[in-house]
Structure 1
Amino acid sequence: MSDHDDTAKVWDLIDKIGFCMLATHNGSDIRARPMSAYTKRADGAVYFLTDVASHKDEEVARFPNVCLAFADTKGQKYVSVSGTAEVLNDRELIREIWAFPAKAWWEGPDDPSIRILKVNPEFAEYWDSPGTVISYIKMAAAAVSSSKPDMGDNEKVSL
């Protein structure tokens, strides 16, 4: 695959999976929490809605390097994205990416406590296998034949 194809594959997998574990650093520990991702390929960024009072915002301000871990365990598709994050108070972008599930945390997109967490990806690695059943069959066949199974695509991609 070409670099362009690998980059497109990363974005496609992120869009398909949609949710990730956002890992931040607080100075002594690494913390991860589930987040719903909104991508804008034209910006080369992944966005999240967050609250101004959340600890992740403070962590990102002090330690902007983050990791996004996307996993579709049923489809055996995974993406790990490393990048830098920043917190924005872009009201227009908040309204643009607002979706109904966010109503669980805020009244609406005009809630003054909503912020954008923007991640600028720098590096990604993806694993894209043919699915659980086929993967198990390939692993079993490899175990019987003492060979290594072909588990699908795995690429490291600079973004």
Structure 2
Amino acid sequence: MSDVSKDRQDADKVWGLMEKVGICMLATRDGAEIRARPMGAYVRREENAILFLTDIRRHKDDEIARDPHVCLAFADSRGQTYVSLTGRAAVSYDLAKIKELWSTPAKAWWDGPQDPNIRILTVTPNDAEYWDSPGTVVSYVKMAAAAVTNTRPALGDNRKVAM
């Protein structure tokens, strides 16, 4: 397999894992501090973006305006699947996109897609790293076997990926 094919396959894996997990921790910089909060992600590979509905009354939008570098951390501990992605974020107003992303969970935060406080947060990925294991039970069995045999367990795939 060529390096280009392998890179494409790894990128495909990252996009698929993010889509599967769906919820991530969005980390932003607040001066010297780093802040993270859970967010529902709309993974859009065809747009090379991860989108979020966000509220302009929250601090993350100000933090992104000062420093657009962010980290998204997706975790499915039951499935032993993890993705950490770095990228650049931008906040914008796009009513058509807000309507496209509008769903039942958004109703908990806003009255409707026309709410004047809703914005689109778009993260354009730079790179990612993923960990994909065969599952908790299999991982524990492999770790126990490795401890008994004094070897390192093979716990699945881990790759750094340019996005």
Q: 1:5-36: CA deviations, max 9, x gaps?
A: 10000000000000000000011200000000
1:45 to 38, 49, 52: 49
Alpha-carbon shift at residue 110 of structure 1 (Å): 1.3
Q: Partner residue of 2:99? A: 95
CA RMSD of aligned residues (A): 0.8
Q: 1:40-88: CA deviations, max 9, x gaps?
A: 1111000010001110000000010000000000000000000000001
Matches within 5 A, 1:1-80: 2-80=6-84
Q: Which amino acid in 1 is paired with 2:55? A: D
Residue segments in structure 1 that go unaligned for 5+ positions in a row: none
Percent of aligned pairs sharing the same letter: 60
Q: Which amino acid in 2 is paired with 1:111? A: D
The reply to whether residue 134 of structure 1 matches residue 138 of structure 2 is yes
- How many residues are aligned here? 159
Q: Partner residue of 1:106? A: 110
Specify the SS of the correspondent of 2:64. helix
Q: Partner residue of 2:147? A: 143
Distance 2:92 2:148 in 1: 54
- Large movers: runs of 4+ above 2 Å: none
Residue segments in structure 2 that go unaligned for 5+ positions in a row: none
Alpha-carbon shift at residue 93 of structure 1 (Å): 0.6
TM normalised by structure 2 equals 0.96
Q: Which amino acid in 2 is paired with 1:107? A: D
Distance 2:104 2:112 in 1: 9
